[in-house]
Amino acid sequence: MVALERPAARSQGLNLLRLALALSVVVSHAWGLTLTPGRPAWGSYDLGTWAVFCFFAISGYLILASRTKRSFGDFITRRVLRIFPGFVACLLVTVFVVGPVCFWYRSGHLTGYFSEEPLPLTYLFQNLTLQIRQQTIGSITNGLPRSDLLNAPLWTLWFEFVCYLVVGVLGASRVFRRHWWPWLLLLVVSIVVHACEDLRQDALPANSWVWTLMTVAPFFFAGCLAFVLRSKLPPRGVAGIGCLIGVVAISAAWPDLGPYLASPLLAYGLIWLGQAIRVPWTRHDFSYGVYIYGFLVQQVLLIFGAGRLEIYVFAMTSMLAVMPIAVASWFLVERRFATRGERSHLGTGDAHTSGCVVPYAPGATGAPEAAG
């Protein structure tokens, strides 16, 4: 029997669960990047979108847990140190390693790489704030099925950080820190806003980031709700399994809105599953590295001719190729900043609370079309 606990108690299982979800995103992208029909899906949503939902649900639980233990300034500092160093390193690797290698492979020289539009340096500086304003570099992706995107999922990091800010602000109130009903209210409101397409179109422009946020916010609030209710939820494994079965059933009955209606069940089931997993080697969190490099690695593989592979072979090759990079990202960059100032807590869960790893959510307003 496993009761829901603070992340520190079972962070290793959650790390393994998030790694599995991140790799499932890579698998889903294999179909999207090659425009291969038959992408794995359940109901109205493909595998990558389900990973979006799962990651936000887990993130809501973990991030609110982190907020309740510290001040706003300390909380935001830790969140910045968790998300920005790996992100900036990815941009630098893209501009100064991946870009030149791909440019040289295609042209046989490096002349003109830094002067070809869209410029590599503008890719770096325009995207530094997490808001992705430039999607490609020069002509290195020309001829690919998705030549308009180099590393599309990076744009969702902005929405992850917005969620951090929401919890940071609301967490200052005792009402939000100690009571479950405010999070339930936010959950219901976000589901209603997401469901009311006419309301969304009339209230703000169609490309407003607010509506994109409403695509994933219900799952985040469901995770927050699960954290606040953790001491009141039944500590039985059958309850966690039942919740996950309920998600499948509700999503089958209502393919479009079902996952949103079942988001509290999804949050409980995922947190229970993550805390029930006990694998000693998972104290390191490689999921963020898999996310920020996965799409990029797959585009590079396609540039080097991997598009000739069978789709399942390409998906497997992509996972094998990104894992060493994700491991390097964690040990060389992410962990150094995530554990700064709290090295005595390494392995307790907070240092590894990267939040959600969010691929492209199909149908999200204002997002790059079919990026994942």
Percent of residues, the chain, with pLDDT higher than 90:
69
Mean pLDDT, rounded, of the chain = 86
How many other C-beta atoms can be found within 10 angstroms of the C-beta atom of residue 73? 9
pTM for the model: 0.88
Selected residue with higher pLDDT from 167 and 13 = 167
CA distances from 12 to 218, 219, 346 (A): 25, 22, 12
Backbone angles phi, psi at 364, to 5 degrees: -70, 125
pLDDT band (50, 70, 90) for residue 356: very low
**According to the model, what pLDDT value does residue 233 have?**
79
**According to the model, what pLDDT value does residue 2 have?**
44
**According to the model, what pLDDT value does residue 234 have?**
72
pLDDT band (50, 70, 90) for residue 366: very low
Selected residue with higher pLDDT from 233 and 131 = 131
Selected residue with higher pLDDT from 113 and 2 = 113
Contact (Cβ atoms closer than 8 angstroms) between residue 228 and residue 61: no
Average of pLDDT values for 227-237?
Answer: 82
Selected residue with higher pLDDT from 55 and 342 = 55
**According to the model, what pLDDT value does residue 168 have?**
95
Q: Which residues pair with 41 in a beta bridge?
A: 46
* Cα separation, 164 vs 77, whole angstroms: 11
Q: Long-range pairs for 130-135 at CB < 8 Å and ≥24 separation?
A: 130/83, 130/84, 130/87, 130/154, 130/157, 130/158, 130/161, 131/155, 131/158, 132/158, 135/368
pLDDT band (50, 70, 90) for residue 242: very high
**According to the model, what pLDDT value does residue 93 have?**
98
Token pair in block for residue 123: 């890719």
What's the chain's Rg over C-alpha atoms?
20
Contact (Cβ atoms closer than 8 angstroms) between residue 259 and residue 266: yes
pLDDT band (50, 70, 90) for residue 348: very low
* Cα separation, 272 vs 5, whole angstroms: 9
* Cα separation, 308 vs 225, whole angstroms: 46
| Vertex 313: Cα angle to 148 and 38 (nearest 5) | 65
* Phi-psi label, residue 151: left if phi above 0, alpha if psi -120 to 50, beta otherwise: beta
Asked whether the predicted pLDDT for residue 363 surpasses 70, the reply is no
Asked whether the predicted pLDDT for residue 292 surpasses 80, the reply is yes
Average of pLDDT values for 56-70?
Answer: 93
Q: CB-based contacts of 266: which residues, under 8 Å, 6+ apart?
A: 53, 54, 57, 219, 222, 243, 244, 247, 259
pLDDT band (50, 70, 90) for residue 155: confident
Contact (Cβ atoms closer than 8 angstroms) between residue 296 and residue 36: no
Backbone angles phi, psi at 236, to 5 degrees: -110, 140
**According to the model, what pLDDT value does residue 150 have?**
96
pLDDT band (50, 70, 90) for residue 200: low
Sign of the torsion formed by the C-alpha atoms of 159, 165, 168 and 170: negative
Q: Which residue has the tokens 């090659």?
A: 34
**According to the model, what pLDDT value does residue 205 have?**
62
Asked whether the predicted pLDDT for residue 86 surpasses 80, the reply is yes
* Cα separation, 240 vs 242, whole angstroms: 5
Asked whether the predicted pLDDT for residue 354 surpasses 90, the reply is no
pLDDT band (50, 70, 90) for residue 237: confident
* Cα separation, 150 vs 146, whole angstroms: 8
Backbone angles phi, psi at 11, to 5 degrees: -65, -30
Average of pLDDT values for 329-334?
Answer: 96
Average of pLDDT values for 1-5?
Answer: 48
Sign of the torsion formed by the C-alpha atoms of 275, 278, 283 and 286: negative
Average of pLDDT values for 98-109?
Answer: 96
